[in-house]
Amino acid sequence: MKTIFKGLCAVLLSGTCVVPVGAQVPASVLAPASATPERIILNLTSDTAHEMAVTWRTAPGLLGQVEYAVATAGPDFVKTPMRMAATTENARVVTEEDPQFHAAYHSAILKDLKPDTVYAYRVGDGTRWSEWFQFRTAAAEAKPFRFLYLGDMQNQVLSEASRTLRMAFRSAGDVAFTIHAGDLINRHNSDREWGEWFDAGGFLYAQTPQMPTPGNHEYGKDGAARAGSSVTGQWRHQFTLPENGPTGVPEATETHWYTDYQGLRLISIDSPQLDRNDEARAQTIAWLDALLADNPNRWTVIFLHFPLFSSDPDRDNPKVRSALKPLIDKYKVDLVLQGHDHGYARGAIGAAGPTADGAGATYVVSVAGPKMYDVAELAWARKTAARAQAYQIIEVENDHLRYRAYTATGEPLDEMTLNKPQ
């Protein structure tokens, strides 16, 4: 229906005043989930060469289906696609805007896929379908690739943080996946903010797997994993992440996880749980110890929200550092990618303290959104920057890993290379 402007209102031709022109839409106004598939997102599973997870939502009461096929140069793939039913949960999610919000959340894991192969897929209910998207499965062996790392988007996600993510994809549109180091949004149960996060990525999320770890803002203010927290509500409805974390920490399902990708072991640590739960901390340490001890990959990257070494002079996370750093040093983890501090810092730290690049794990703090904190003079950091929205492109090859950071305008910010000769 067309819209005209009358006075201070945007008016439908029916005569209804929708919202004052130029005004912010009130927080109480919530767009319901639509019959058309929305918030479509890919996630990696623990078998990246043979599987891919896809998640989306619709209005309640609708079932979900996925059609997929090996992509072809022409349109012939649409003639005989495979079809599978999604798992559908008609859920009431307690949101900040509407405590009775309902939607149908659909998820499916496509299995028995061919390694290193482009697939086309679409999602729907059998009548209403999305457009066709494409993704590539991982190779079954070590092979060069690159991925994106983003710190907190969190605030003004659509209006201001989106430019960082979009510039990252403009710079490296062929990345295998993107990791998000927590605080994707600001208010854990705001469906409006989650909507902004999905709008910021749009079709990019449906073609490139997004791999998040939770921050403190994905939990309620009390830090508990409880009903209403997005980690037990929207987080698990909106993402389909590997369920291979520590078995004794059920509240961290799909928050502690790992996957292997073409010679890289990628590990998500749920740092809010690690920081606030003594029992979960002990079990997480045991899980991570075993995971690092039995690691067939040449490269290892851990990412989490709370930094082991802060860029802000008034912040510190001693519980997280004491839990993780001995294992990072023992098993020679290559990169530790972090968020939370809303600044930029990068340096190498070994068992004895700050060291040269490659002589200890490289620790990075970065922020993608517009909220900024002070950055201290840091003995451990070889590069710092304040008030810089940034994204990072990380290239992984057999004997070297190249790390490059850029500002939201695409200007080079930092660079280093780690080498592991044969």
pLDDT digit string (tens) for 121-140? 999 999 999 999 999 999 99
- Does residue 109 share a domain with residue 14? no
- CATH code where residue 83 lies: 2.60.40.380
Domain boundary among 105, 136, 167: 136
Q: Does residue 120 have a pLDDT over 50?
A: yes
Measured CA to CA, the distance from residue 237 to residue 240 in angstroms comes to 8
Could you give the C-alpha distances from 71 to 58, 76, 297, 338, in angstroms and in order? 26, 9, 29, 36
- Does residue 73 share a domain with residue 25? no
Look at residues 114, 107, 261, 255 and name the one whose alpha carbon lies nearest to residue 188: 255
Q: Does residue 317 have a pLDDT over 60?
A: yes
- CATH code where residue 218 lies: 3.60.21.10
Domain boundary among 84, 117, 136: 136
- Does residue 247 share a domain with residue 110? no
Query: Considering the chain, what percentage of its residues have pLDDT values greater than 90?
Result: 81
Domain carrying residue 63: 38-136
- Does residue 196 share a domain with residue 120? no
What would the pLDDT profile of 66-95 be if each residue is shown by its tens digit? 999 999 999 999 999 999 999 999 988 878
- Does residue 336 share a domain with residue 202? yes
Average pLDDT over residues 189-204: 95
- Does residue 5 share a domain with residue 112? no
- Does residue 323 share a domain with residue 253? yes
- Does residue 88 share a domain with residue 13? no
- Does residue 326 share a domain with residue 203? yes
Domain boundary among 78, 110, 136: 136
Please say whether the dihedral angle defined by the alpha carbons of residues 194, 196, 199 and 200, taken in this order, is positive or negative. Answer: negative
What would the pLDDT profile of 351-367 be if each residue is shown by its tens digit? 999 999 999 999 999 99
- Does residue 152 share a domain with residue 117? no
Total number of domains in the chain: 3
- Does residue 307 share a domain with residue 214? yes
Q: Is 156 left (phi over 0), alpha (psi -120 to 50) or beta?
A: left
- pLDDT band per the 50, 70, 90 thresholds, residue 390: very high
- Does residue 257 share a domain with residue 132? no
